[in-house]
Homo-oligomer: A and B are copies of this chain.
Amino acid sequence: MSATRSGIAEKVEKLVTKAVMEKNLIEEGDRILVAVSGGKDSTVMAWALSRIRPAVRKNYELAAVHIASDFCACCKKAALEKRLSEWGVSFTDIFTPVIGRLKPGRVMNCYWCSTQRRMELLKHAVERGFNKIALGHHLDDIIETFFMNMTAKGELSTMPILLRYRNYPVSVIRPLGFVEERQIIACAEEKGILRAACTCPFGVNSSRKIVRKRIADFTGNSSAVKRRILRSVDRAGLLAGE
């Protein structure tokens, strides 16, 4: 463990606790469905949510679900399930045939795949009586979406940290919203959390890749600048959705 990374897990715990307390993400008796891909982000989220119980002082249930698709090799799922069970988080695996659901003549794309899997997640949560869905998006994802929406859609908006659905008895929470990606990577390393994610043959969406590079240049990869951008977005009320 290098000196600079020492205590990074505690730092992540603190930032998740801060988001949960400040944005009131967890309430007494919540049944929280944690969406896990097997990647570092969602696995660190599941770990952190299981760790912050004493700080949050609420009773809540944690269960993980993995929405698999045709693009999922799933070779490391057993390791993920074992890890989650050590943290007291149950694991369910659901297969969504995203290719089979394509309408004739349409080609596969990120939007279609993610919408299908999101609907499956929502359906599962509602059917099993979960009232919260936790997604593993972090600070860099939120800023990235903010810049993408601004430059491509002409709109100041981003992924909220708390989103209440109007038509479903479920809210979406993003407990990693105050955590930077580099902190998650360092935390995963410190805690020995290995990637066990499905590999998508399409890779990262290319326009997202370009924006990511441009934001890194624009902010000079400064944590202070990125946190001021997040604060701007927060103060404008964009982190609390409908």
Which of B229, B231, B236 meets A236, CB within 8 Å? B236
Q: Is A166 in the interface zone, CB < 8 Å from B? A: no
**Residues of chain A in range 216-239 having any CB-CB distance to chain B below 8 Å:** 217-219, 225, 227-229, 231-233, 235-236
Report the interface size for chain A: residues with CB under 8 A from the other chain. 22
Which of B149, B154, B215, B232 meets A150, CB within 8 Å? B232
| Residue numbers in B under 8 Å from A156 (CB-CB) | 156, 232-233, 235-236
Q: Is A106 in the interface zone, CB < 8 Å from B? A: no
Q: In the docked arrangement, what's the CA distance between A225 and B211, Å?
A: 12
Q: In the docked arrangement, what's the CA distance between A156 and B231, Å?
A: 9
B218 touches A154 (CB 8 A): no
Nearest-neighbor residue (CB-CB) of A150 within chain B: B232
**Which positions in A face B, CB cutoff 8 Å?**
149-156, 214-215, 217-219, 225, 227-229, 231-233, 235-236
